[in-house]
Amino acid sequence: MIVAMAASLQAQVRLPNCQVRGDQLEEDMWENLWKQNWDGAAKLISPAFQSIRDNKIRDRDGEIAFIKTQSFKFHFPHNYQTTYSGDAVIVSYKIGHYADAPGGKGKKIRVDVEALSVWRHTPRGWQWVAHVETAGAPPAQSAKPDNSAPRASRGTVERWDTGLADAEAK
């Protein structure tokens, strides 16, 4: 019994405060992006970094060039899920933002992009080594209690009414 407990404990070795740390690593990166602190963001990105966004694979230099072209002002990460393996932290989450509704007319819809980042603890500190984002889709309507109803497929856009579009139209 003692041997079984020791083996079980050995298999469950965890980095200290990993759940909080995974969320914090992403928040640190997002803080740099919101402030357009490109040097701060670059310090967190590993030389071996790879990403997939918009069906393109990018290395570290390509990712830095890409993020410099983006506006992150109205992006908000949420729903963090963190796991770990040795010196790595894997964080999956959603990135919400507002996009123009089909047909235009100033209407905005909320779109959630699913993301996954891998962070590794190195002699330089925590480094962002990989990132993947899916195509965005509107979040499921919270007013629909029936979860068995078919969900909109990716790429299908539903109106997500925040009241912002109506206020902007007036």
Among 157, 27, 46, 23, which residue's Cα sits nearest to residue 100? 157
Condensed to tens digits (0 to 9), the pLDDT of residues 111-162 reads 888 999 999 998 888 999 999 998 766 666 543 333 333 333 333 233 233 3
What whole-number percentage of the chain has pLDDT above 70? Answer: 67
Instruction: Report the predicted TM-score, pTM, of the whole model to 2 decimal places.
Output: 0.66
State the average pLDDT over residues 94-106: 81
What whole-number percentage of the chain has pLDDT above 90? Answer: 39
Q: What's residue 87's pLDDT? A: 87
Rounded Cα–Cα distance for residues 98 and 122 (Å): 36
Helices (H), the chain: 2-11, 18-34, 38-44, 60-68, 164-169
Condensed to tens digits (0 to 9), the pLDDT of residues 101-114 reads 877 677 888 888 89
- Residues 139-166: b if buried by 16+ CB within 10 A, e if exposed: eeeeeeeeeeeeeeeeeebbebeeeebe
Q: At CA 102, angle to CA 107 and CA 73, rounded to 5? A: 55
Element (H, E) at 114: strand 108-122
Kindly state the DSSP code that residue 138 receives in the 8-state scheme: P
Condensed to tens digits (0 to 9), the pLDDT of residues 22-46 reads 889 999 999 999 899 999 999 999 9
Query: In sequence order, what are the beta bridge partners of 61?
Result: none
User: Mean pLDDT in the chain?
Assistant: 74
